[in-house]
Chains A and B, each alone.
Chain A
Amino acid sequence: MIRCRGLVKRYKDVVAVAGLDLEVRGGECFGLLGPNGAGKTTTVEMLEGLLPPDAGEIEVLGLTWATHERELRRRLGVALQETRLSDKLSVRETIALFRGLYGGGRAVDEVLDVVQLREKQRAWVGKLSGGQRQRLAIACALVGAPDVLFLDEPTTGLDPQSRRQLWDVVTAFRAGGGTVVLTTHYMEEAERLCDRVAVIDHGRIIAQGAPQDLIASMGAEHVVEFTIDGERGAGKGTITADALSALPGVRGARLDGDRFELTVSEVHHALPALMAELERRRVVLSDLRTHHATLEDLFLNLTGRHLRDA
């Protein structure tokens, strides 16, 4: 459906995308996951034919941008990272304009319902909230009845309710057989929406696959985090990540500031062992929590950095 090989893009002396191979299958939702500045938007805009790559090949729907630009544009729906639309046009007029540019497609009323903007249809774009604008951007992408939908950070900066509304729109589009490519730096979004994700860092793919498989590849389903109380307890400073990783059920341990993070395959074995070890060394905890491993933990495992603040 979409295939690219050896994709490279440089901006002056910065390499934004450093040799990237991707394959998106028909009917799936594919996510590009990575921190800000990882090269997600650059990659997507090259796939969308808005940015010429410095090297590499791109094939969308079996066609290339050089030979079939107009046909591709007609079959793709695009929501940019920040889709700017004219402030002086109403919601309805904007959608009708895009329908006109696509030379037809879905009915304006139908699309208004899908993105739940019917009651705002006469409002000027300039008067909409951030969430409403994002939904309008997606309406403009949907109205041409595309085969592939590109969404670049569709939910960044939205409140939880607007985010869930957008997820519903994506789910509905896929139910109709459409293919979706989206970028996000929310792991929850990627896990929830995507059949497969590519984790991107510094313009390269560092992991690719189904979210559950990627998490499972860490060999650990849980994460235990704790902080040592620096005031009390005699044994502070005697404990090391290496010592902790030898505990039963623990797959890995790392120290992040004053916080320890253990990736754990069996919480019910690891936790008692951890408590016993801390007791033995006379260490007092100030905080301890456990959660299911996520793509965030995968990224942390692979890069040593968090997705959000990388």
Chain B
Amino acid sequence: MMQHPLWHLTLSRFREFYRMPEALFWAFVFPILLAVMLGLAFRNRPPQRVRVGVQAGAGADSLVAALRASADVTPVLLPAAEAQRELRAGRVVLVVVAGDPVAYRYDSTRTESRIARLATDEVLQRAFGRHDARAVVDQRVTEKGSRYIDFLIPGLIGMNLMGAGMWGVGFALVQNRTRKLIKRLVASPMRRWHYLASYLCVRFALVPVESGVIVGFGVWAFGVPVRGSLPALLAVAVLGSFCFSSLGLLVASRAQTVEAVAGLMNVVMLPMWFLSGVFFSAANFPDAMQPFIRALPLTALNDALRAMMIDGASLASQAGELAIVALWGAASFAVAVRIFRWL
């Protein structure tokens, strides 16, 4: 093993990598920063009160008094012109105008406004005499594994595998080609696929750390459950890294400048950021798009990671998704080796 050329190439790549401070930042610090920011955004907090404007005028005071009793809204008394301005700026989501009938002024396409309307109406109707027909009780879902953060963490792992694989391989390769570092190696008896494979090997070696940082932070800060087996999850992450590193090889295979490869990478990655269920479920897109979305490697990878991590699904149960990921990787690598521009 020590004498194998692939070992020498991988070792050299690895040294180049860890001797570059900016590479270390992107690989290790960036995922932590991302997770910290999400932690701030999704920290546990009580349901928020929304600001509701009450237009000043006859009868306004009694509406304000009634709304003060609500746990969901904070009423503010505003002159008509100002109420209009605040509504436009989004500082209040609903304006209540006293009178008979009472008027609700709001933008019905805004979810917040619609919720505020329901809550406000509920409070006012009750204050003015409506009685509940049935007794109800709230059961708030805080069960681990079904919160938004539990949905998000596996998606972030997938997104990070994609970004790190494509940038780490594609960008570095084009940079080394434009600096003519590859030319001297081509003049040696090196097998060319060994050279490309050494980039992948370095990525594989970094996967446990890069993905581990995100999982570890999720568990530590949010108590995100890891129900599937860790070795199986790692295997899936490495497979994902193989897929996206190979895609990185492919986009780098002909690109002559780092600008060109950066553009190509964005073209490849941008649709997947939106379509592949990183921040919200891919099921939100129209049915006609679903076959296409399902065939994307990041969708398959995210689905598999999510199923295994949150639902404790087995490796075998994700065979279909994993096959899609593996196929993308193998095809990209095979094509990249064939069309790669060496000089």
Contact = CB atoms under 8 A, between A and B. Distances in A.
Interface in B169-186: 176, 179-181, 183-186
A161 interface: no
A85 interface: yes
A150 B181 CA distance: 18
A167 interface: no
A104 B5 CA distance: 10
A93 B5 CA distance: 13
B184 A73 contact: no
Contacts of A100: 3-5, 7-9
Interface string B1-14: 00111011101100
Contacts of B12: 86, 89, 93, 97
A16 to B, nearest CB: 15
A85 B3 contact: no
Contacts of A97: 8-9, 11-12
Interface stretch (B15-23, B122-130, B219-227, B262-270): B15-23
A86 B3 contact: no
- What is the interface residue range for chain B against chain A? 20 to 34
B181 A88 contact: no
A38 to B, nearest CB: 21
A76 B188 CA distance: 8
A102 B189 contact: yes
Nearest to B17: A88
Interface in B15-43: 15-16, 19-20
A48 B188 CA distance: 10
A160 B7 CA distance: 39
A80 B184 contact: yes
Interface string A83-94: 111101100010
B327 interface: no
B185 to A, nearest CB: 7
A97 to B, nearest CB: 5
A268 interface: no
A88 B179 CA distance: 13
B175 to A, nearest CB: 11
B184 A96 contact: no
Given A50-B343, A100-B8, A103-B5, A88 B185 contact: no
B335 interface: no
A50 B183 CA distance: 8
A89 B19 CA distance: 9
A118 interface: no
Interface in A62-102: 70, 73-74, 76, 78, 80, 82-86, 88-89, 93, 96-98, 100-102
B15 A103 contact: no
Nearest to A82: B180
A73 B16 contact: no
Contacts of A144: 188-189
B187 A48 contact: yes
A290 B343 CA distance: 47
A91 B7 CA distance: 18
A89 B189 contact: no
A140 interface: yes
Given A84-B179, A96-B8, A101 B19 contact: no
Nearest to B187: A78
A50 B187 contact: yes
Contacts of A50: 183, 186-187, 343
Nearest to A90: B15
A124 B12 CA distance: 13
Contacts of A137: 184
Select the residue from A70, A74, A103 with max chain B CB neighbours within 10 A: A103
A54 to B, nearest CB: 16
A94 B16 CA distance: 11
B190 interface: yes
A191 to B, nearest CB: 28
Interface string A23-59: 0000000000000000000000000111000000000
A82 B4 CA distance: 27
B8 to A, nearest CB: 3
Contacts of B183: 50, 80, 84
A102 B179 contact: no
20 contacts: A50-B187, A50-B343, A73-B188, A74-B189, A78-B184, A84-B179, A84-B181, A84-B184, A85-B181, A86-B16, A88-B15, A88-B16, A97-B12, A100-B4, A100-B8, A101-B5, A103-B5, A124-B19, A140-B184, A144-B189
Interface of B: 3-5, 7-9, 11-12, 15-16, 19-20, 176, 179-181, 183-191, 343
Given A73-B188, A100-B8, A103-B3, 17 more contacts: A70-B189, A73-B187, A73-B189, A73-B190, A80-B184, A83-B184, A84-B181, A84-B184, A86-B12, A88-B15, A88-B16, A97-B8, A100-B4, A100-B5, A100-B9, A103-B189, A124-B19
Nearest 7 pairs of A and B residues by beta carbon:
A100-B8, A73-B189, A88-B19, A78-B187, A74-B189, A84-B180, A88-B16
